[in-house]
């Protein structure tokens, strides 16, 4: 399970100290046993699509976030934190007159492969259950409240929440 391309966890980086590598080596059988027992996605994120389309900055924490990169690229700035059960979704389906694209004659591309990029700035915090929908930009140091659905751009240095998310409070820029 550790060797698939679908899981990523930026905390498990190469270049760990000898002590860190030894600790991970000793923990590995217990982690695999826990995964076998059904305790999945506690610490690992899931990437639906090409893992290379998720561009993480340094010192990010993704917990068990779902990244869907079928229809775009996800760029995440440094020091950004995702709490539990967040979803970052670029994927979408084309509908023509209420019918899925591939059911038309001639068929229309049902799932676009580009154009729904998500750009997330540095120092952002996403509370539990946040859903980010494709083709948005979230500025640096933004805080998104729990259970929010981000469907439009969010400026830097603000708190946004709700369904759909809207700016609740604007903070002054940090020097």
Catalytic residue among 48, 79, 84, 93: 93
Cis before 164? omega within 30: yes
What is the rounded distance in angstroms from the CA atom of residue 62 to the CA atom of residue 124?
Answer: 12
Here the tokens at position 166 are: 């809207």
What is the rounded distance in angstroms from the CA atom of residue 15 to the CA atom of residue 95?
Answer: 47
| Residue 112 CB contacts under 8 Å (≥ 6 apart), including other chains | 71, 92, 94
DSSP state, residue 50:
-
Q: Does 93 qualify as catalytic in the annotation?
A: yes
Closest CA to 84 of 69, 62, 102: 62
Cβ-count burial of 159 within 10 angstroms (0-12 exposed, 13-18 middle, 19+ buried)?
middle
* Cβ–Cβ under 8 Å, residues 125 and 148: no
Cis before 106? omega within 30: yes
* Residues annotated as part of the active site: 93
């Amino acid at each position: 399970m550790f060797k698939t391309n679908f899981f990523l966890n930026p905390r498990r980086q190469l270049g760990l100290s000898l002590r860190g590598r030894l600790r991970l080596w000793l923990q590995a059988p217990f982690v695999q046993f826990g995964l076998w027992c059904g305790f999945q996605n506690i610490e690992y994120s899931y990437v639906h699509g090409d893992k290379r389309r998720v561009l993480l900055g340094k010192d990010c924490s993704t917990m068990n976030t779902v990244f869907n990169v079928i229809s775009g690229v996800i760029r995440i700035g440094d020091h950004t934190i995702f709490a539990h059960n967040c979803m970052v979704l670029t994927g979408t389906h084309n509908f023509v007159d209420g019918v899925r694209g591939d059911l038309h004659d001639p068929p229309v591309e049902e799932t676009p492969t580009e154009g729904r990029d998500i750009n997330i700035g540095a120092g952002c915090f996403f509370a539990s259950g946040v859903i980010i929908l494709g083709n948005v930009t979230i500025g640096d140091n933004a805080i998104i409240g729990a259970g929010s659905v981000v469907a439009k751009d969010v400026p830097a240095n603000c708190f946004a929440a709700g369904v759909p998310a809207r700016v609740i409070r604007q903070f002054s820029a940090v020097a």
